[in-house]
Structure 1
Amino acid sequence: MEGERRVGVAVDFSPCSKKALTWAVENIVRDGDQLILINVQPGGYFEGTEIQLWEATGSPLIPLTEFSDPAIMKKYGMRPDAEILDILNTVARQKEIVVVTKIFWGDPREKICEAIEKIPLSCLIIGNRGLGKIKRVLLGSVSNYVVNSAVCPVTVVKTNHED
């Protein structure tokens, strides 16, 4: 793995995470990189025993072919967005990169920082929802927490309300 970059992108299928993924693909990802999507699902009741086992460590790395299969992703409780799948398949072909996804369950702030250390990532790109000051204080900002806690460079891609 010497010299191989692992570029992480936090993805929750919101418009701001799509923008962060697009920005990463256009500006950061280079030929031969490994693109790792980090997705955090809410914790709570789990139907599958596999998910109960993965709650502490996250899912195994899921290759793009499996991530594109709705039947496989259903067992993870996810429905990937068609636009994101199109972006990923295109960049995987054009830049000859490996695309994988890792799913965590719990608090996004903590789990994204955990992913950075455990995978480990060379850098992380994350979207910013653009919460106002009051909402940010009440709800907290995932991107702000990650920027201040991560052990790798973090780029925050801001979302304009016009987008």
Structure 2
Amino acid sequence: MAADRRVGVAVDFSPCSKAALRWAVENMVRDGDHLILVNVQKEGHYEEGEMQLWETTGSPFIPLTELSDPGIVKKYGVKPDAETLDILNTVARQKEVVVLLKIYWGDAHEKICEAIDNIPLSCLIIGNRGLGKLKRVLLGSVSSHVVNNGTCPVTVVKNFDHGS
């Protein structure tokens, strides 16, 4: 079973998603796991054919080795920061973990839940921005939605760095 574990981490390259990624790497990821980063973009700007396919299925899996490639960055509109890449390269090397990125387009509430089923994920780690009560009511917390609607175990990592 260990070789089949797919640990998902919702990432948007913000401080709170980096906190969730760090937590996942330190507490959840084991040797031989697949670490799958799930990123949701609001909208795409791609060739019609590819975009129509990706809107329903998400992007193809993008391996860690391609995440620094400027062509990939341009094609998908995603640019992982140096700190995130460092965390990923370290865990891939130290724990022999396969790291993949999958990008979805649309509403994060829905797409993260879809990713859990479609990939499928064994578990998901997601950061919590710590929105105030009013913002949470107006915007709806993505992490709360995923906890309540996701079909796998979900761990919410609180970001204690309020300076960001």
Which range moves more in the overlay, 17-26 or 65-74?
A: 65-74
Amino acid at match of 1:135: K
Please give the secondary structure, in 2, of the residue aligned with 1:59. coil
One-letter amino acid matched to 2:113 = C
Question: Which is further off, 51-60 or 114-123?
Answer: 51-60
**Which residue of structure 2 aligns with residue 46 of structure 1?**
45
Please state how far the C-alpha of 1:162 moved relative to its aligned partner: 5.1
Equivalents in 2 of 1:133, 1:126: separation in Å?
A: 19
The answer for unaligned runs of 5 or more in structure 2 is none
Q: Give the total of aligned pairs.
A: 162
Q: Deviations over 1:31-69 (max 9, x none)?
A: 0000000000002x5233323321111001111111221
Instruction: Give 2:6's aligned amino acid.
Output: R
**Per-residue deviation, 1:78:** 1.1
Say if 2:25 is the partner of 1:25: yes
Q: Is the 8 A contact 2:113 2:149 kept in 1?
A: yes
Tell me, which stretches of 5 or more residues in structure 1 are unaligned?
Answer: none
CA shift at 1:79, angstroms? 1.1
How far the C-alpha of 1:2 sits from its partner, in A, is 7.5
Matched ranges for 1:95-110 at <5 A: 95-110=95-110
Counting aligned pairs with the same residue, the percent is 74
Q: Residue 144 of structure 2 corresponds to which residue in structure 1? A: 144
Letter matched to residue 41 of structure 1 = Q
Distance in 1 (alpha carbons) for counterparts of 2:39 and 2:65: 17
Q: 1:30 Cα shift? A: 0.3
The answer as to whether partners of 1:113 and 1:149 remain within 8 angstroms in 2 is: yes
Q: Of Structure 1 and Structure 2, which has the larger fraction of its residues in helix?
A: 2
Cα distance in 1 between the residues matched to 2:31 and 2:24: 13
What SS is found at the alignment partner of 1:157?
Answer: strand
| Aligned residue in 1 for 2:85 | 85
What secondary structure sits across from 1:55 in the alignment? helix
Alpha carbon RMSD of aligned pairs, Å? 1.5
Partner of 2:65: 65
